[in-house]
A and B are shown apart, each in its own frame.
Chain A
């Protein structure tokens, strides 16, 4: 019906989209989720939003934006939402790659495309997004210090070498995804994920990504106080 030369609507059948699922953990992001999904669906056909018991209309908005929506009956945490998304994607036998994407609009779809491309050419089994590989992202000094400390801790405990372990943008291939089992429901899941990938001996690379610190994501994002909670969850696991 419409001119789909530039717009990939739900009926477009370009092969690059059909083996990839984009997993978006969703919790009270009603303000931005429609735009985020529209942006993602411009490049990837298959989007699964895991609604983690949102109190606003996030789930309905995500569904009408064209995402499959899996709804947790109540809030479990971002780590639990990611694992639910992984389970969903794994139930699709044609899935080869999964991209994890944040719902608050801080990630760029171009970065995700580039990361899946690197999986596709066989460069690695996992591609981690890193905001510290170039100068495009500009976290505040406090945030930078916390993220550096977090990645230092993660590297130390998981025998991996990363520059940014707490980035929500990742691309993971199916064989690795099958081995991942996130048990940290809260925010410590990022380190747990890295640890499991490190233990699985999968090959990984980092991909420079641009984190857009909009006023919205800044207001919603992790406060510095929460980093203390993350640290505690990591140590007490």
Chain B
């Protein structure tokens, strides 16, 4: 087997990405995700060394060529990435909205608590 430069570059890239992802996940990362990531990385290395594996997969699922198969997989992966990112952002938005609302309401106090006009400053909570 003859290793070409592009294969080395790609393998290095995959390993770096996997390591980075593992490192940045923190303590609560689920083991399943890690195993999945390892498998994915292994598959990536495998398919770099033996590009024909994609051809075999493509033939099994009835797609013409391995390159097409990779493209389809990429499209699916990209769409799922877009979706999870969208959901995560929406979740984040809901959180900071709650936080901002709480801040705003605390700043102004309860309706009949003070008759003064609120300024942008801390308003002590007179918990009578």
Q: Are A73 and B111 within 8 A (Cβ)?
A: no
Q: A68-B118, A185-B93 are in contact. Are A74 and B108 (CB under 8 A)?
A: no
Within 8 A of B (CB), among A50-77: 50, 63-64, 68-74, 76
Asked whether, in the complex, the Cβ of B110 is within 8 Å of the Cβ of A84, the reply is no
What count of chain B residues pass the 8 Å CB interface test?
A: 17
Indicate if B25 sits at the interface (CB-CB under 8 A): no
Does B105 lie within 8 Å of A69, measured CB to CB? no
Q: How far is the CB of A221 from chain B (nearest CB, A)?
A: 24
Q: Is the CB of B101 within 8 A of A71?
A: no
Flag if B105 contacts A74 (CB, 8 Å). Answer: no
- B84 interface residue (CB < 8 Å to A): no
- A83 interfacial contact with B, CB 8 Å: yes
Check if A17 is an interface residue, CB within 8 A of chain B.
Answer: no
Given contacts A73-B100, A76-B97, contact A91 B117 (CB under 8 A): no
Interface of A is mostly: mixed
B44-87 CB mask vs A (1 if < 8 Å, else 0) is 00000000000000000000000000000000000000000010
The reply to whether B117 and A71 contact each other, CB–CB distance below 8 Å, is no
Residues of chain B contacted by A117 (CB below 8 angstroms): none
B104 at the binding interface (Cβ < 8 Å): yes
Q: CA–CA, A56 to B118, complex, Å?
A: 17
Asked whether A183 is an interface residue with its Cβ less than 8 Å from the other chain, the reply is yes
Contact check, A71 vs B97: say whether CB atoms are below 8 A apart. no
Contacting residues, chain B, for A183 (C-beta < 8 A):
94
- Given known A-B contacts A63-B117, A63-B118, A73-B103, A68 and B108 have beta carbons under 8 A apart: yes
CA distance A159 to B96 in the complex (A): 31
Contact (A92, B112) CB under 8 Å given A63-B118, A71-B120: yes
Q: Contact residue range for chain A?
A: 20 to 34
Give min CB distance, A78 to chain B, whole Å: 12
Beta-carbon contacts of B93-128 to A below 8 Å, as 1s and 0s? 110010011011101101110000110100000000
B residues near A87, Cβ cutoff 8 Å: 101, 105
Q: How far is A46 from B103 in the complex, measured between Cα atoms in Å?
A: 21
Q: How far is the CA of A63 from the CA of B119 in the complex (A)?
A: 9
Say whether B93 contacts A88, CB under 8 Å: no
Alpha-carbon separation in the docked complex, A79 to B117 (Å) = 24
Is A80 positioned at the interface, with any CB of B under 8 Å from its CB?
A: yes
B104 to A84, Cβ gap below 8 A? yes
- Tell me which residues across on chain A come within 8 A of B120, comparing CB atoms: 71
Of B93, B100, B110, B118, which is within 8 A of A91 by CB? B110
In contact, B100 and A74 (Cβ under 8 angstroms): yes
Decide if B118 touches A88 in the complex (CB within 8 Å): no
Asked whether, in the complex, the Cβ of A64 is within 8 Å of the Cβ of B100, the reply is no
Query: Could you say which residues of chain B place their CB within 8 Å of the CB of A71?
Result: 104, 107-108, 118, 120
A-B contacts, 20 of them at CB < 8 A, read A21-B111, A48-B111, A50-B104, A63-B117, A70-B104, A70-B108, A71-B107, A71-B108, A72-B104, A73-B103, A74-B100, A80-B97, A83-B101, A84-B101, A91-B105, A91-B110, A92-B110, A185-B93, A185-B97, A236-B86
**In the A-B complex, the 6 residue pairs with the closest CB atoms:** A92-B111, A63-B117, A84-B101, A70-B108, A70-B104, A80-B97
